[in-house]
Structure 1
Amino acid sequence: MSSQQDLALREPARSLAGRVGHQIIHSTWADRFVSVATPVALLILWEVAARGGFVDTRFFPAPTTIASSLLDLATSGTLWTDTGASVGRLLAGLALGAVPGIIVGLFMGLNRFAKLAMEPIIAATYPIPKSAIFPLFLLIFGLGEVSKIAIVAVGVFFPVAINTAAGVREISPIYRDVGSNFKAGRWNTFRHIALPGALPLVLTGLQLASGMGLMLIVVAEMLGGNSGLGFLIWNSWQTFSVGTMYAALIVISSLGLLLSLAMVEIERLLVPWRKR
């Protein structure tokens, strides 16, 4: 084949690749535009409805009013103090609940006796609303920090344990057979087969648990706290400061988004082979 014929064949392929690449870029920008434009349009609609008197601003203040309340809270330092208190309790509860959850889930996935012993207990206690047992925690631990961290830890434990056990059970038997053929002991089986194999579902459980923990810490601060975002919402309700209430809700929503993005980034680093 001559060089002119080869060039003639390559030119349409390059043109097609260029058109496909342009379509992909255009589609990506269109998706991003829709993702950003939709909430912005809803905020503008809300603002117009509030200023036009179509909604009761006592309960649905305009977004600009909420933004003003958020700015006032940030300027006074109240927002940072309460947010810091909630985040500290949340992270402590996540650590105290996730570590035992991973350990128990791994044992349930690897050991038949552990599965038979623990599965009925988890199945019976998991459906109990964690907010319903918070008064019991208040009786045991008092109104201090321990009761709030404990309720988050309990809520985190269950999704992490259940997902970890499911992750171990989904490991292909061929990997265990390879470990058995190479005379891998329990520790090496745990370290090189069970934990890496279960890691994708462990991280999924942690992502679910972080959202659960955020909800529980807000409830705990509402019922038995004198600081934190939950307390800020409850105090705003008592004083009918609706703008402050919405501002706290925005911060909670932002924390949830940040936690979700952090878990996605951790998954990208620890489980690069798993594609979303």
Structure 2
Amino acid sequence: MTSATTDGPAPAGHREAPRRGRASGGDLRAGLLFLAAGAALNAALAAAGLWSDFAWPAIGASFVLLVLACERIGRLVPVKGRAAYERTLALGFPLLVLVLWELAADSGFINPTWFPPPSRIGAALWDLSTRYDRFSGTTLLGRPWLMPEAFSKEGWAGIWALVAESHVFATVARVLVGFVLGAIPGVLLGVVMGLNQTVRLMLDTTLSAIYVLPKIAIFPIVMLMFADPFGEAPKILVVGLSVFILMAINTMAAVRGIDRVYLMAGRNYGARGWSMLRHVILPGALPVIFSGLRIALGTAMIVIISVEFVRAKQGVGYMTFYYWEVLNPEKMYAGLVVVMILGVLLTYALQWLQRRLMPWQK
């Protein structure tokens, strides 16, 4: 009678657990070692009085060591905490840059006159947000704290008067109107160009040639098209043209890049004409179209800020350029901060729309 022996190879889980423990410990030690190396490098250069002479190589090496440390430490983050870890990286690094900027300005490493520290830029942004400019009759945000009183006295006319004085409202309105007026016909033309070779051959070269033109260069031509060349219509139209050309080219590439398997499957299920366009072509092209919309939105912001630099009396671009002219760098940088914030908020709004129109990507 043979008896079962208890000796034998250990279960796989018992072998893997120590290995994972050793790997985790190695990643942690490596991450801490990279951080310590970065701190030691900067401390040694500062102690020797050489940090200013080797500032940019030291900053580059410190960034590489920080990336390596974060990658090793990121391997230790459990799956449940991965999203929080990624948000920490996305928000923590910009905050670190702001802290270093503040320290560099206070220590005199950079000239605080032309590169004011974030604290002074923040104070300037607060002043712009709360102060009414009597010379131009404008504000940054439209003084929303006065809206309840204005509504009680003048109704919606009072609310609109406060909104109309806002630099942010002027810029956002121009961007959104021009973006919609350019994106919709651009997508439609791009679909036609993607499906019809004759139209594509006729228009592709022309659109490509116009695309490379600086949009600010065609703004004077656009001004000649309107009875009021200094009104809102030329500014909106140049934004719309920029978005239209970009979206036509992007959508054409999106339609032509659809996998032929999807088209064959649609035909096998009886899709023809409008049914094929609605259920196969547009859903297949939407991911690339939205990537183009995101680029087009950034282009629209760049174009309108450039136009406001040269021909506007209201808008974030005008405000930024005005404070450059009067040599007020804190408020000039505050204007640039507002532009970046608007870009982030508009991009998030576009991503929200993308999630609603493409729920299958979840």
Query: Where on the TM-score scale, by shorter chain, does this alignment land: which range?
Result: 0.7 to 0.9
Does residue 240 of the first structure (1) align with residue 327 of the second (2)? yes
Which structure dedicates a bigger proportion of its chain to helix?
1
- The aligned length equals 266
Per-residue deviation at 1:245? 0.6
Residues 25 and 124 from structure 1, CA distance in 2 versus in 1: closer, same or farther, beyond 3 angstroms? same
Match of 1:79 in 2: 140
Q: How does 1:65-144 map to 2 (within 5 A)?
A: 65-76=120-131, 78-80=139-141, 81-141=166-226, 142-144=229-231
Structure 1 length-normalised TM:
0.87
**Which amino acid is 2:280 matched to?**
I
Match of 1:24 in 2: 79
Per-residue deviation at 1:243? 0.9
Structure 2 length-normalised TM:
0.67
Residues 176 and 54 from structure 1, CA distance in 2 versus in 1: closer, same or farther, beyond 3 angstroms? closer
How far apart are the structure 2 equivalents of 1:33 and 1:98? 34
The structure with the largest alpha-carbon Rg is 2
**Which amino acid is 2:284 matched to?**
G
Per-residue deviation at 1:184? 4.0
Q: How does 1:165-204 map to 2 (within 5 A)?
A: 165-181=252-268, 184-204=271-291
How far apart are the structure 1 equivalents of 2:313 and 2:261? 54
Residues 38 and 114 from structure 1, CA distance in 2 versus in 1: closer, same or farther, beyond 3 angstroms? same
Residues 21 and 244 from structure 1, CA distance in 2 versus in 1: closer, same or farther, beyond 3 angstroms? closer
RMSD: 2.7
Match of 2:157 in 1: none
How far apart are the structure 2 equivalents of 1:31 and 1:181? 43
Tell me if structure 1 keeps the 8 A contact 2:77–2:85. no
Match of 1:43 in 2: 98
Match of 1:215 in 2: 302
Give the secondary structure class of the aligned counterpart of 1:79: coil
- Report sequence identity in percent: 37
Residues 30 and 174 from structure 1, CA distance in 2 versus in 1: closer, same or farther, beyond 3 angstroms? closer
Residues 48 and 175 from structure 1, CA distance in 2 versus in 1: closer, same or farther, beyond 3 angstroms? closer
> Which whole-Å deviations, capped at 9, do the CAs of 1:123-178 have from their partners, x for residues lacking one?
22111111111121223230110111011111111221122111211222233334
Give the secondary structure class of the aligned counterpart of 1:171: coil
The structure whose RCO (Cα within 8 Å, separation 6+) is larger is: 1
Contiguous gaps of at least 5 residues in structure 1: 1-8
Contiguous gaps of at least 5 residues in structure 2: 1-10, 19-23, 25-74, 133-138, 142-165
